[in-house]
Structure 1
Amino acid sequence: MTEKIDDQELQTSNTPGYNPGEKKSVDEYAKLDANDESLNKWKASLGIGAGAASGDGPKVEFYSLSLESASRSEPIVFNFADLQGKKADLKKNPVIIKEGTEYNVKLDFKVNHDVISGLKYVQVVKKAGLTVDKLEEMVGSYGPSATPYEKRFPTEESPSGMLARTTYAVRSRIVDDDGNIYIDFDWSFKIAKEW
């Protein structure tokens, strides 16, 4: 499978009127407008001021991306710690997905010592060189936490029928409001009659 999905296709859309604002550290956010009740609630929702921030490691650690379905006993899991050595295998050995099945995608990650704003998951799917689907899912904004976060995306249904039963090329990316790319990998899946 030699289909190439270029960076241009993975560009995220902008929300009209939304301005991410100036980047601030966790300490700057904690001190910002300390008497503003609404702002304090927002800061608390991000874990700012809770003392859970770790000064070690990367800003964000992404653990896994999983595909879960009630019709399958175990999820299909992309473990990001193992991703580097398996990138070529992910493209050559497609993941099998049962046709007409409902599934959810789940992202597991941890924010260590900074506020991450506007995380997005973007995925482009190609079949026979043509883009057949683009998914752009807002993951959200998160503050540092000792406990990992889990984000589940809305339920989707895999295509079905004889024409759908083929192999698809996929490129997935996780990016934030500042344009930082955290995860970027190519993989493939095949729609089949059974898992």
Structure 2
Amino acid sequence: MATHGEDDLQASTTEGFKVGEKKTLQEYAKLDQNDESLNRWKASLGLSSSPAIAVDPKDQRRCVIKALALEVQGRPDITIDLTAPGAVEALKKKPFTIKEGAQFRMKANFVVQHDLLSGLKYLQVTKRKGIRVAKNQEMIGSFPPNTPEKPIHEKKFEPDEAPSGVLARGHYEAISKFMDDDDHEYLKFEWSFDITKEWQK
């Protein structure tokens, strides 16, 4: 039996689209080394000759989400350090407060290790009083492993606007996850937020 929001958290797909054959970093490096256009394409991916860093050599995840932030126009960022003990669990218990009609967007900091990360995406289902009110999917992209020169990747999501009006105010619950083209799940969490008439002090 599916858990809360599990059926909703399926990535949308394009009919007929198939994920391409995966290659390792070494295979990409050797691929048509004399082809200038291909070399430019590999450079655009950020493939580097520098050694990749690893968050933890024992951690086999290809992607580690380090922090999430909420950017709001005219206000300091609200940043959650996901490496802190209990940080993920606290997201549901400590709601974000967003003023109705406010412009905002999410931001994620993450590390890629071991190999290329293909098609990272973010999915979110939002409910109010148990009824789904929104489903969002954000394509983040494909990334090479981080190196000492670039120790972290940062992705700013598309801007959004909080709903407004008396009916929009109240408490919302959301369930979100980060996954890739191969349906590998890197982080799944529940969180909540309140839409209010004014910012709380």
**TM-score normalised to structure 2 length:** 0.86
Whole-angstrom CA distance in 2 between matches of 1:175 and 1:105: 16
Gapped runs of 5+ residues in structure 1? Answer: none
Structure 1 residues 15, 50: closer, same or farther in 2, change over 3 A? farther
Structure 1 residues 134, 44: closer, same or farther in 2, change over 3 A? same
Instruction: Count residues with an aligned counterpart.
Output: 190
Letter in 2 for 1:68: E
1:162 aligns with 2:166: yes
**Aligned residue in 2 for 1:193:** 197
What RMSD, in angstroms, separates the aligned Cα atoms of the two structures? 1.9
Structure 1 residues 80, 87: closer, same or farther in 2, change over 3 A? closer
Structure 1 residues 67, 34: closer, same or farther in 2, change over 3 A? same
Instruction: Find 1:172's aligned residue among 176, 179, 199.
Output: 176
Gapped runs of 5+ residues in structure 2? Answer: none
Whole-angstrom CA distance in 2 between matches of 1:8 and 1:33: 42
**Aligned residue in 1 for 2:11:** 12
**Aligned residue in 1 for 2:121:** 120
Would you identify which runs of 4 or more consecutive aligned residues in structure 1 move more than 6 Å? none
Deviation at 1:33, TM superposition (A): 2.1
Alignment of 1:22-41 (within 5 A): 22-41=21-40
Letter in 2 for 1:27: Q
**Aligned residue in 1 for 2:74:** 71
1:101 aligns with 2:105: no
Identity level (%): 46
1:61 aligns with 2:64: yes
Letter in 2 for 1:184: K
Whole-angstrom CA distance in 2 between matches of 1:33 and 1:21: 18
Deviation at 1:184, TM superposition (A): 0.3
Deviation at 1:29, TM superposition (A): 1.2
Deviation at 1:78, TM superposition (A): 2.4
Letter in 2 for 1:103: F
